[in-house]
Amino acid sequence: MNELYDWLLASAPHSGRVEHLCLGLNWTLAEVDGSQGFAFSPRQVPRTLDWSGTLAGQGNAALLPWLLSWNDAEAAVGLAVLNASVNTAAGCQCEALALRSEVPGHLQVFAHFRPRLAGQRVVVIGHYPGLERLWQDQPYQCLERHLQEGDLPDCAAEYLLPGADWVFVSASSIANKTLPRLLELSRQAQVVLMGPSLPWLDGWRRFGVDYLAGVRVLDPAGVRRVIAEGGGTRLFAGPVEYALMALGE
């Protein structure tokens, strides 16, 4: 389908087995061989899913290819299984720097980079609640598929990203298949790929990513409760922490 997706699927062990799968209101959670992985849940899914009740116990080899599906729910499951498979304690996430500040967890990446952005042309892919207040003194343009006040439609990427200095990309763009084009358009920018949907893989540099900003699980049981009970940003209030890694040349 695309070199990026071929690489992602080749990076995950196909020998694992899915122990638990939860398609929550905000986050989809997969557990594979004791590790947890996330994907942003689709905003709209059918009231019934033909495969519900059949995923736990299946092998990675059966569910990883769902990442390539154009069905939003299936793609979220595929990404969550991929992340549970590669985001292990032995992976590159252990080398990342924990981000801790007074701002809410989902905004810590933006707080970290704020001192570097003065005078820069900044584009954020995805709407992050509260960013307009955190960056009230930092001009930026937000591109969003589901528009909220102040956002621009995602098709504006074709015009804005080639001239951007910094681009912050939500890793949920992996599941909706927009990431390859976003990275292609951002070749001249510093690119931060971020969010719980991030696969912690150090090979992202070859696709033009300069920084990885994802989450590490601190409390697996807490993660399970928050997602099962429909939580969104509450995921960052203890069960996970944000961490940052700069990718070398």
Q: Give the integer Cα–Cα distance in Å for 198 and 29.
A: 13
Given this model, what pLDDT does residue 75 score? Answer: 96
Q: Which pTM value belongs to this model?
A: 0.94
CA distances 182 to 73, 154, 159, Å, are 22, 10, 11
CA distances 104 to 26, 80, 108, 165, 242, Å, are 17, 23, 7, 25, 10
Dump pLDDT digits (tens) for 29-51.
999 999 999 999 988 776 778 88
How much is the average pLDDT of 150-179? 95
Given this model, what pLDDT does residue 1 score? Answer: 47
CA distances 14 to 59, 154, 242, Å, are 7, 34, 27
Given this model, what pLDDT does residue 145 score? Answer: 84
Dump pLDDT digits (tens) for 10-29.
999 998 899 999 999 999 99
Q: pLDDT grade, residue 147 (50/70/90)?
A: confident
Q: What percent of the chain has pLDDT over 70?
A: 99
Q: Of 80, 156, 83, 79, which is closest to residue 124 (Cα–Cα)?
A: 156
Q: Of 131, 106, 110, which is closest to residue 237 (Cα–Cα)?
A: 106
If you search the block for the tokens 């912050």, which residue do you land on?
168
Given this model, what pLDDT does residue 249 score? Answer: 54
CA distances 106 to 47, 96, 235, 240, Å, are 29, 16, 9, 10
Q: Give the integer Cα–Cα distance in Å for 101 and 237.
A: 12
